[in-house]
Structure 1
């Protein structure tokens, strides 16, 4: 039985794993870190520590070994105690005890146990797949700074006698000015080019998003419904009438792609609606209806039921 294998398994799920009669391995969560000197990024992890004072059996390790090895609790405890004796003999001989994936233990001159945790693995499950990496420092352009330094080192005003003595070439001044102008122009062009690139990318992303929304969107008329006006004269109760020349359609949606409209019709028919294809609207969108009614009262009643059970965005279209 490799006891450290079971200890390692439990460290992924628990913050404390006690080895009866030997000590406890503790974990503590650490945040991500950046080493400014080595430019190393360390992912969030769990650091491991050892406490030899915690030796009471809490049953966690023994139960896990018993379940994994398919043996009784007493047999698992006996096996752990034998393994602990072996570990203690190794430490008594002043040699290091190496536990795979956990760390190494050793005794110092003061007979104290020293623990050095293993660098791998990372016991923080939320950081699974993350590893440490080095980042190359970013070197930025210093063209302008170099030109300024060059300008400071080249004298621009020199007497004729001094010019003859040192052989000063007047065109160096203009070369420095041209170099400064060139570096400034290059920097400005790069900034302008980067801005244009960002604008083009943003415009392209926006166009793709709008196109996708138009193709899949359903357009609805959100204007309030106008109920039919009923005129009541003296001693006469008006009743809803049917206008044979007018049809009332309960609209389910409008689609840019005809195949999406056909698919919507099939879905509505599958749940019992007399769905149909109305045609295209002023925007060129294909309109789909739940059903149609020649009686306005029936249409309003059906619309209320559909808005309650199917879609709040359904609306009524009356056509003469």
Structure 2
């Protein structure tokens, strides 16, 4: 049963790594992903697509709510129940490690303790978490050897003289006069066409000037009167831009999310209620940031002063 729970929760972690750069397991550590561009291994002639490299940081253990909310939404349980399952999960992993076992997370990597009882993580490189490289796989192409063949041009040329013997042909007189007549007719036709084009352009120009003059006179004579103009309405709508958002909470009932928005607005925030996500949860945001470090500093401040369960959402809002 314990192995089934571990496999199930590691599958959830793997799902989140496709969409987020940081997935924290409360009380255990955090999985981090870093983008790596496409590259070629010159030793094995292997072409590798863009990918995400997975690493582990034991220092990041504070609960940001991401993993627990995902477990709660998938297993359709409460947030507190999901947290308890995660605590049991980390406790089982810790016991296995101190018993000298190697703990494997499917498609992610393996954990073990070294001789100094320090945690070691070895990522699996076969699995690619970059969605931009979906369907692409590594392949080996044999090295292409190019050889340059140099030959003397003079050796390839055939030095054979080519003699041209012109033939004398007597031109018939009536063909010469027919050619002259065709040229004369073409010249007359071209001249007549140019005269016609000039006349059309002059007529179009005169009509365009006449129309412009009429429009200007009508504009000058018009009088615009607006009775009882409407007062100017000024709206201030909070803007949430950037990839990093501070989440105050996620609510299955939209009414509860709206109530949270009203509470935050009374405290001086400019909150935003997001549309329901794929799990039917309405997330309420404190604020959004373009800079990741600035968002993390603000998150720590909120967690210390008013909401210990606030967490960081990394997502583009449209």
TM-score range, shorter chain: 0.3 to 0.5
TM-score, length of structure 2 as denominator length = 0.46
Structure index of larger Rg: 1
TM-score (normalizing by structure 1): 0.46
Higher relative contact order (CA 8 A, sep 6+): 2
